[in-house]
Every structure is written in structure tokens, then in C-alpha cells.
Chain A
Amino acid sequence: MIADFALAPLLPELILALSGMALLMLGAFSSGDATRTVSGFAVAALLAAAAAAATQSDMRVVLMSGTFVSDPFSSFAKVAILLASAAALLMSLDYNEREGFARFEYPVLMVFAALGMTMMVSANDLISLYLGLELQSLSLYVLAAIRRDSARATEAGLKYFVLGALSSGLLLYGASLIYGFSGSTNFETIAGVMVDHGGGAPVGVVFGIVFVAAALAFKVSAAPFHMWTPDVYEGAPTPVTAFFAAAPKLAAMALLVRVLVEPLGALVADWRQIVVFVAIASMAIGAFAAIAQTSIKRLMAYSSIGHVGYALVGLAAGDETGVRGVLVYMAIYVVMNLGAFAVILSMKRQGRMVETIGDLAGLSRSQPLLAAGLAVAMFSMAGIPPLAGFFGKFYVFMAAVSAGLYPLAVIGVVASVIGAFYYLRIVKIMYFDEPAPAFDPVTEPGQAGVLGVSTAFTLLFFLWPVPLVDAAAKAAAALFGG
């Protein structure tokens, strides 16, 4: 029945858009506090959209006069984005109520942000790319500042907004240069024009690529466009930070991959140097700047910058194995990141949140399960086999090596060794330091569930990596016209 429906490829977006608007109505017109109800429906809508994305056919379908595309690549990214958003929303419910900013707009904005992300990964046109990105960013700016009585959250929101608007300006300028050369905003037409041209790209197009790549690097918070990340991650409420570090990152990365590979695929020689530079800078910043941090949220921010760098190593390879590596890496990163944030959200002492690394001291004795969960996430992020994080790094470095980018792969390995220091330091603090006063016990099913699933995935991924890797391979093949 679903296959006969001409708009079936648009189903995830339709579900999200319609349920977002319906939930807004529900929240606005219900007499009591509808936050719980709206949140429940929002999680259901995100899961339904994920199911709709997962059941898409493997064919490449272009709809809406070429502005929208559905292919295995977009389906893969959508499933990951929607599941990550649902998990982030589940984790946030109790926190928001406790801290007194539980409002029904929160889940609604998350649904709209998720809608923006699915539109980004399905964009087949510079205009739909921009609008998807704006829909996502605008929702995220509001979410960052949603705790409006807190000066830090407001500052985070404002900083994110101003810098985000600047990067959107860069993106539009770059897009206008690309349009000015190719005469079309459609990805397929641009790709055709770029191939026809052959040889070196004209200087105007190179400028366009630089601007677009810089703007998207800002969105994935890759160095040297990462300055906003630590401040926003630290200032925003922790559940919002958990959301920021997971789904939007994957979406922006998928968008970057699609833009560079599909319309600009013929110019790989021109954009590879940008990606290589950004990857090296991000890995270095992620490895060195995180060492001196005392706030766990700032540490996670620098860690996310580093992880984006590793994922970009795969993109620098610019071929099918590379893109497969990026997708596997980002999917694993999202899972372990959500696990780590489930623990950070439980760092609460006598009802008050604490967020310095020192507060974790001796956690293994007061709450062994929590400590074990965070330790697994940290070992995995450090890339220690046989945990999932190791496989992510393995696939991207393998792609870089097979593309002949030996120096990049070596720098990546060195950076991940340096980065292992601060991940392992957290494990050491939890297991060997004098215990700090114990945290309040975790009573929240959402957090416990996310932590359990994430830890199980990270621990047991090596037993059965085939489904994820196969899906990523299929997605990558779709991007290269396979």
C-alpha cells in the first residue's frame, strides 16, 4: 500500500512536519501542563518517522522537481538521526522538569530540528539544502537558550545564533558563486556541468567550494570553525548538549559528504586539500585542548571536535570506502556519545547538578554500574579494541590508507593516542581516586535505558558488525551511483 503512494519517499518528513504542528496545537490548547503528553507523542513521531525511513526502497527517487532525493544514503542518515533525537528527548524529560524549564515547546522544537535534519540529508538542491539547514539551526538556537532565566544558557544561545547566522551567510555566498558558474541550483545539473568542464576548476567555483565547505565545517564544529562549540556545549542545558552532540552532528556531516561527493564530486582534487587541513586541525585541537578542561561538558565538546576530525579523514579519501567509513564512524560516535551523556545527566548531588571532572572521583565505589557505563564509552572513544569506537577509527583510517593518504592516517593515529590520555584520565579518576560524595541514585528510566543500550552496543558491536557496515556500504554506494 505504501509503495503505491507517490509521496512515500517523503513519508518521514511528512510525519515529522504534521506531527510537529499537531503537537504544537495540543500543547497550546490543552489546559494543564501538557509537556509529558507532548513529549510522549514526539518520541512516537520520531520513531514512526525512523521506521518510515528504514522501510524506504533501495532505489534513488528524486521528487518535488528535483529538490528532494531519497536514496539509501539519506535513509541511513535519517534512521540514525531520528533514533538519536528520540533517545536525546527521552533522556531530557526528568531533567527539564527538575530544573524547572519543562515546556511543551521543547519536544516540538526537537521534532522540527529533526525535520530540518532529515531535509538536509535529503537535499538535492542548494535551496532545499539551505532551508533544511536553517530549519535545524533555528530550532537549535532556541533550544540552546530555552532555559531563559540562566545567563549562561542565554549567552550560549546568542553566541550560537550570531555565529550560526554568519556561517549561513558564508554558505549562501558560496552557493551563489557555484550557481553563478553552473546556472543551476540542482545537484545533478551542477554535477553534470562540473564534469563537462574537466581539468582544473575555475577560480570562482573554487571560492564557492571554500565558502560552502567553511560554512558546513562550522555546522559540524570542525576546527578552525570550532570556537563556539565549548561555550555553547557548556552553557546550554545538559540534555540539549546531549542532543547537539549527537543528531545534528551526524546530519551536518552527511550533508557535507553529499555536497562534496554529489555535485562537486568531479572536483575532488580541489576540495580534498580543504578536508585534509580541516581534519588535521580538528584532530589536533580535539586532542590537545581537551587535556586542560575541568568541566566534563567542555571536555565532551573538544572530544566531539576531535571525532569530527577523524570522520573527515574518511571523507578526505573521497571514495566509496571513505564515505562508508564516515557513516560507520558517525553512527558509532552518536551511540557512544549518548551513553556518555546519559551518565553526565546523572551527575547530581542532593538534587543539584554538578559538572566538573573531579566530581566523578571514586564513582566506581558509589555507583559501579554508572562508572562502568562511562568507562566503556570512554574506552570506546579512545579507540581501544574490541569496543565499537575502534572499528569506527579502523574503517576511516583504512580508507585513508587505501586512498594513499598515509601522512593523514599517521597523524590521525598519533592524535588518537594523545586523545586517549584524557579519556583514560576520566576512567582513572572514577576507579582509583579518593571517592567524592556519592551521586543521587538514578531513578529515571529514560537515562538508564539509553545508557544500557549504548553500553551494550559499544561492548558487543564486534560480535556482529555486519548490519551497520553493510547498510553504510550500501548508502555509500548509492552516493557514487553504484
Chain B
Amino acid sequence: MLQTIAFYLFSGVLIGAATMVVVARNPVHSVLFLILAFFNAAGLFVLMGAEFLAMLLVVVYVGAVAVLFMFVVMMLDVDFAKLRAGFANYLPIGAAIGMVLLAELVFVLGAWSVSPALPEAMALPIPDPSQVHNTKALGLVIYDDYVYVFQASGLVLLVAMVGAIVLTLREREGVKRQSIARQVARTRAEGVAVVPVESRKGVDV
């Protein structure tokens, strides 16, 4: 009973927040609603017993991705009203295509069938939660069965990083940079000069 209430609560808030992400006028509000949506999705994961995914969602998406979004939204001076100017023009055709796609999806899901051989075909059956907690179960799958694709995704991220640096990093000339080694290695002789100053003359520095 309590679980059902929690499920509908999380789902309702999730859908409401997701809608607000799209319709909110202020982009900062959109990002805040996105964070709310992530929290509720995490709640749904907890209800399903997938506590690791729930924590991951909170740590990675709320903690890193959404904060990054927030930075970008606040630093870029994007005029969202201007971006939406063409919206009304494209609305009819967009809506028409959307409706056609929706109708097709209903058609597909209405006639959905799973293969009769599905139970045997299941590549990796879900382990018994009373035997192994799901962090460990995920680890076993990722690092044993899917080690190849795990490494491959690492390479994809490496290429993304290289790409970002290649396309944006510019070596700027004439920028003063701090060199701690040089600072530390500086001797008294380099920095201090003792100049005898005659009275009422001053010195050129």
C-alpha cells in the first residue's frame, strides 16, 4: 500500500517536473525542474530495489550533469525568446509528424509480442537479490561479461575528451603563467638589489 502511494507520488512529480523542464520560460527554472525529475526517478529506482542505480542517478546526474547544465545556462547568454521565434511556424508540421509517429508507436506496441523463446534466450538472468546485492551483481556483469564493451566505452570517452581539446584549446601568446618551480628556485640575488641612496637624490628603479 505504502509502496503504491510512493510509486504514484514519485511518478506524478516526475512527469510534472519533466513537463516543466520543457515549458518553463526561464532556463534556470528548467534546470532546477530537471534536478527534481532526477530525484524522483531515483526514488522510483529505490522502489524497484535498484538502490545502486538510484544513488548513481543522484551522484552523477544531480551532482555533476545538472550542475554543469546550470553553469552553461548561466554563462551562455542565450536568448531563449529568440530561439522560440520560429516555433509557431513549424508547429503544425511538427505536430503532424509527431502525431503520425505516435500513431505508429501505438500500432507497434498494440501488436507487441515477445519471442516464444524469450525465457531461454535471456542472455543474463537477473540474480537473486537475496543472494547478491545489486552493486555486486552489476559489477559482475560489467567487469566480467561486458569487459570488452566497458573498455570500448572508455575509449569513446577518451576520444570525446581529445576532440573537445583539439577543437577548443588555443595556445594564447603573451599570457603570464605561474611557474612554482621558478618561484621557489628564485634566489635573493635575482630579486633584491642593494643600492646606496644618496640623501635627497632618490634612485631610478
Contacts and interface: CB of A to CB of B under 8 A. Distances in A.
Nearest to A132: B152
B147 interface: yes
B167 A142 contact: yes
Nearest to A103: B166
A203 B149 contact: no
A157 B164 CA distance: 13
A125 interface: yes
Given A182-B121, A197-B116, A64 B155 contact: no
B76 interface: no
A86 interface: no
Contacts of A367: none
A467 B175 CA distance: 59
Contact of A196 (B113, B116, B148, B158): B116
B5 interface: no
Interface string B111-139: 11111111101110000000000000000
B168 to A, nearest CB: 8
Interface stretch (A104-112, A249-257, A394-402): A104-112
A229 to B, nearest CB: 21
A138 B164 CA distance: 11
Given A67-B149, A138-B159, A183-B121, A146 B166 contact: yes
B68 interface: no
Given A196-B117, A202-B111, A204-B111, A183 B163 contact: no
A435 B165 CA distance: 45
A197 B115 contact: yes
Interface string A185-200: 1100100110011000
Nearest to B110: A203
Contacts of B151: 17
A135 B152 contact: yes
A183 B148 CA distance: 20
Assign chain A's interface to a size class.
35 or more
Given A112-B159, A138-B156, A189-B123, A204 B108 contact: yes
A24 interface: yes
Which DSSP category, helix, strand, loop or mixed, fits chain A's interface?
Answer: helix
B105 to A, nearest CB: 9
A65 interface: yes
Contacts of A135: 152, 155-156, 159
Given A103-B166, A148-B167, A189 B155 contact: no
B149 A125 contact: yes
Interface of B: 104, 107-109, 111-119, 121-123, 144-149, 151-153, 155-156, 158-160, 162-163, 165-168
Given A184-B121, A207-B104, 7 more contacts: A67-B148, A127-B146, A135-B159, A138-B163, A177-B108, A183-B117, A183-B118
By Cβ-Cβ distance, the 3 closest A-B pairs, closest first, are: A142-B163, A64-B148, A131-B152
Interface of A: 17, 20-21, 24, 63-68, 103, 105, 108-109, 112, 115, 119, 125, 127-128, 131-132, 134-135, 138-139, 141-142, 145-146, 148, 157, 177, 180-186, 189, 192-193, 196-197, 202-204, 207
22 contacts: A17-B151, A63-B148, A65-B145, A67-B149, A68-B148, A105-B166, A112-B159, A112-B162, A131-B149, A131-B153, A131-B156, A135-B155, A157-B167, A180-B112, A180-B114, A182-B121, A183-B115, A183-B118, A193-B117, A204-B109, A204-B112, A207-B104
